[in-house]
Structure 1
Amino acid sequence: MLRKAILFLFFISLSAFVFAEQITSSNYQTFIGKKIQFTDTLSKGQNYRIARKKFSSKKYARKIFTIEDIKLDKKENIILFLTTTLDNKKEKKFKLKTHTNKVELENISVLWPPKPQKTIPQRLHNKSSLKTKPRTAHKVIQPTASFSTFHNVTNDSTDTNWSLFWLALLFFVIITVLINKTSKRHKLLKEVENLYQIEDLEEATPVLRGEPSERNLFFKLRNAQFPAENIFHDLYIPLGDKRFSQIDLILLTDIGLIVFEVKDYSGWIFGNGRQQKWTQVLNYGKEKHRFYNPILQNTQHIKRLKSYLGQNIPCFSMIVFYGNCELKDVSLIPQNTYITTQYSVLSAIENILKTAAPISYSPHTISLLQNAVHNGTNMELRQKHINNIHDMLGDDRIFR
């Protein structure tokens, strides 16, 4: 309901902005010859205004003025020349110095004349005339210069208004899409919170944990119509001795578990399934960085996952590269292992689902996976896991 109210108010305010009549030093010529009309009623506290000039409400209600001419003074301030017919049918002229180069018309509307009716082209007109009076010459009356100029101005100003209208419509659509996207994201978050029965722990909600690329992958899977209860994000698999193995994301399918390892890298990626280290190349070869083979890393995750579940469930390893990277030379990929970028991850999943037969799960499989997700809501446990990683790497024990 609130979203609809915001959209309505936005559209009204945007429409008011687009269709507000404003005469400026750059478009004033399009208003010459136009008629303006004062509205019939005013709310309390409102006035008729042309720039800073106020007009009496009772005297000018529904009054129509013609903009006979508009000129600019030396400072490019706008001077309006208006005429109207009074109640005694006498014409009255106004010279209005606005002392500004942008004139707002408040509670006053511009009466744009209708588009001229299409006339029959002279060639067709002559043909139709020849049928009845073949020997009669027809004189074509040419429009006067003032008539032509008037309609050229009208068409230009109409085109400007339509351009503003389409621009406003474009902005309205963009804002609507953004609000819908935010609303959809919020709905998915509530869906996951209800699924895991998490209350007032927004920072520990499974969807909000981990890296932005992991969260993006979750929403990508959810938007692809994979059920929320089949997507497990940021799992902590207990290993004993208060140690845990962290898995980015698991998708439960009819043919087994797809275990994701998400990497954020840019540049060129080189490596194969048997190497301990892969290489990231940046700046056209000027920079090179080594990182642990993600295939071996995820293979270890799957080994620990199967031990935790106590069931030899078919598992498929999928390494997803986010960021502006290119898999330049990646080879020797083991069976049931897939390497992909964020743009092709759904195609890779679709390929996996076609290659195996359906399986059955133990009744405890889903509850164990949910427990692994719940482990991540423990902030102390998560920090302990990070400390264990740092201790294993031993960065603080290296002195150069």
Structure 2
Amino acid sequence: MLDIQKIRADFPILAQKVNGKPLVYFDNGATSQKPQVVLDAITKYYKEINANIHRGVHTLSQLATDAYEEARRKIQNHIHAQFAHEVIFTSGTTHSINAVANGFASILKAGDEVLVSALEHHSNIVPWQMLCERTGATLKVIPMNEQGELILSEYDSLLSEKTKMVAVNHISNALGTINPIEYMIEKAHQVGAAILIDGAQATPHLKPDVIALDCDFYVFSGHKICGPTGVGILYGKEEWLQKLPPYQGGGEMIATVSFEKTTYADLPHKFEAGTPNIEAGIVLGTAIDYLNGIGFQNIATYEQRLLEYATAKLLEIEGLKIYGTAKEKTSVISFNLEGIHPYDVGTIIDKLGIAVRTGHHCAQPIMDFYKIPGTIRASFAFYNTTDEIDIFVEALKKAQKMLL
């Protein structure tokens, strides 16, 4: 059992008041809060070893380089990658997906197909649309059902020898659906397609094992796993990273440069042009250490309890409808109150100190499927409590009375 009060004490922001009320932070799907150990690590970097990396012979540069590469190894071990050079630092999930999509422009041709799912965040739709426009490939969509689950029989039918890439999220940011990616990876490989897994919403709740999954690419963001903003990870199998051209050109990613020809550096540096977000990369390692100290199985068990408790409490409210009722889902609840716009509810409960997300959650196709403008989304983390859920439910009732 987790000592929730001790954990909450690690997060200074949770002690503050918003609009005169104790903060209830249920917008973890957008970004997580940061424990004191992460805040201290940010300060420590800038106070003690701030320097550019990989380029200097002086002591600070060497210390910063060592800390940055140690963070890479931590991430390698965390996701169980075979090699550290398969771990590429990026600015976030969006950057990671765009790097892969850009690389596939040198592989795809007219008539090839890219599959995405109906559950995707815009960041896992738009780059593939842009890729298809550039190459003449066709984008196809794996449909979903009313429960917010992918229709796997349709996925099987869409796969063919024309399929060159499948891009699917591990967990839906809008609905919390956990997709059967093991099955999807196996099926994609049977037709010779590569597969990219968007793990932005999954990594706060579980530890991906990229070798066991056998995915070709796995991407995620640091700020959703208690780390800083502006840093993310692109994991790619070595053979794919060797095959793809670099996404950006500049310093660090080169072996030699002349006005006649440039040759590229070895992995991982081929994909890490320019000065990186050094502090954030180092501190992402600190955040991962913190979460592993709590234990991802402990986190998953506790968050499942929060999900079940909140679902039962919310369904007691007359006129409340939950969108996304998949058998396998994580601690996200998207819902609406009948006759009330989600934005209005979010605005009122903010006055009561409660932070939720309202709108389409960068997943407009999902909202179009349900024929709604958006939802109220409550996304829970391991530092939330059932007492906070009770406060949330009472605030919703109050908002409902005010708005109807």
Shorter-chain TM-score range: under 0.3
TM-score by length of 2: 0.22
Structure number with bigger Rg: 1
Q: Normalized per residue, which structure has more strand?
A: 1
